[in-house]
Chains A and B, each alone.
Chain A
Amino acid sequence: MSDNHSHGPTGGSATAGHDDHDHHDIASHIKTYIGVFIALLVGTVITVSMYYVHFDSMALTIAIALFIASIKSFLVAAYFMHLISEKKAIYGILIISAIFFVALGGLTLWGMHDWPTGAEGKAMYVP
């Protein structure tokens, strides 16, 4: 983003009313929003067209799809959700969420290597 003042409209805290953000400032943000919107649509088209391209490796197929999804979600979070210029408290919450999210995924992966075995175990787990 071009602006680097500390509490633009993306800061979200409408501190002293509308006066300190002039309309021109918001207008430049609207251009960003439209730009992100177009990028998201292009990203969707690329994701879908990748489906029709055949890759030999399933891992590569998954990696490409998730990579594009990550870029799209970054655009939404950074610009639509204003995370590009947000307060520390919110970054703190999100860092903690990220740690717990990774831990949750990690537990799932861990669990996959530890299926119950034996006749009873098989009955519990039908793939």
Chain B
Amino acid sequence: MEIPYTDKPRPDTGLYNAKLGIWLFLASEIMLFGGLFSAYILLRVNAAEGVWPAVKLAWPHGLLNIPIGTFNTAVLITSSVTVVLAWASLKMNNFARFRMFMVITVFCALSFLGIKSYEYNEKFTHYELRLNDGKAYTGHLIVNGEHPGFWDFSKVYNLEQLKAKTNVTSIKFTADPEKAEGHGHGEAGAHEHKELDLKTDQIAHLDAFLPRNHTFFAIYFTITALHGLHVLGGALVLAYFAFPGAKLWKTHPEQFTNRIEVGGLFWHFVDLVWIFLFPVVYLL
């Protein structure tokens, strides 16, 4: 059976069916991400006053790497323009240029994911430390002379796991410079990194920057990982269209061009989510 209205508009909607379909899907995606953004705002607004980690339940500011986040934003914007240029190339019957733009798009998508993985790894090896005397730090854990958990998730420890999985009774901790009060301006270089030598029984709380450790990380990883899955899914579909799926161009060029438009619409949506996600999560 022929799929109806793949290249001709359906008379009542004026659209080919896939276009109506992708917009209905995007409407549901708006609600999915909308719910998570609402959750973010709820957690952010209700966080305790003060500076984290000194105040345990305060909202952490300035933890994410802004230059990397900015670069990743530019990568995603670039991929968004290349996918629309790929579609325009098909409209101009230039298949070679279409493929070039698709390859750039997929390359940008994979770069985005690679950079995001690097950022995640930075978080998985960054720790919050609270001592029994009430002092609190963020920084890097050194167990037996090495940073545990570097690209090895099984060695990301909280205090209980550290005691259970290693038989160390003392650790080193490279504490980050203390943050100044105020919004987003904690990177003043006045304070130095501090080396702490600690016995494990001096520690009240130790955990990496993981979802279980703080509501900020919980919502940060949930939203960005869901967004990352969208990037991965989009990259797979666009890579399919660029290579094996491109056979359709020879037999049904109109239908193929429409497929690229629909794939592109999804891709622009993923870019659109990031346009809000980046300032909200990194900067506010």
Contact = CB atoms under 8 A, between A and B. Distances in A.
A44 B81 contact: no
B19 A68 contact: no
Interface of A: 9, 12-15, 17-18, 21, 23, 26-27, 29-30, 33-34, 36-37, 40-41, 44, 47-48, 50-52, 54, 58, 61-62, 65-66, 68-69, 72-73, 76-77, 80-81, 87-90, 93-94, 96-97, 100-101, 104-105, 107-108, 111-112, 126-127
A97 B30 contact: yes
Contacts of B272: 73, 76-77
Contact of A89 (B14, B88, B284): B14
B188 to A, nearest CB: 12
Contact of B13 (A76, A87, A97, A108): A87
A interface: dominant SS = helix
A126 B57 contact: yes
Contact of A61 (B80, B183, B261, B275): B183
B176 interface: no
B70 A127 contact: no
A34 B101 CA distance: 13
Contacts of A81: 265, 268-269
A17 B90 CA distance: 12
B60 to A, nearest CB: 14
A102 B89 CA distance: 37
B202 interface: no
A95 to B, nearest CB: 10
A33 B279 contact: no
Interface in B66-95: 66, 70, 73-74, 77-78, 80-81, 84-85, 88, 91-93
A44 B73 contact: yes
Majority DSSP secondary structure for residues of B touching A: helix
B15 A89 contact: yes
7 contacts: A15-B8, A26-B91, A51-B283, A69-B276, A89-B14, A97-B31, A111-B42
A29 B88 contact: yes
Nearest to B262: A12
Interface residues of B, number: 61
Nearest to A91: B23
B128 interface: no
A77 B80 CA distance: 11
B46 A104 contact: no
Interface in B239-258: 254, 257-258
Contact of A14 (B7, B13, B47, B269): B7
Contacts of B164: none
A26 B92 contact: yes
A101 B34 contact: yes
B271 A76 contact: yes
B184 interface: yes
B27 A37 contact: no
A54 B258 contact: no
Contacts of B57: 126-127
Contacts of A29: 88
B268 A80 contact: yes
A39 B37 CA distance: 25
B217 interface: no
B204 interface: no
Contacts of A108: 38-39, 41-42
B190 interface: no
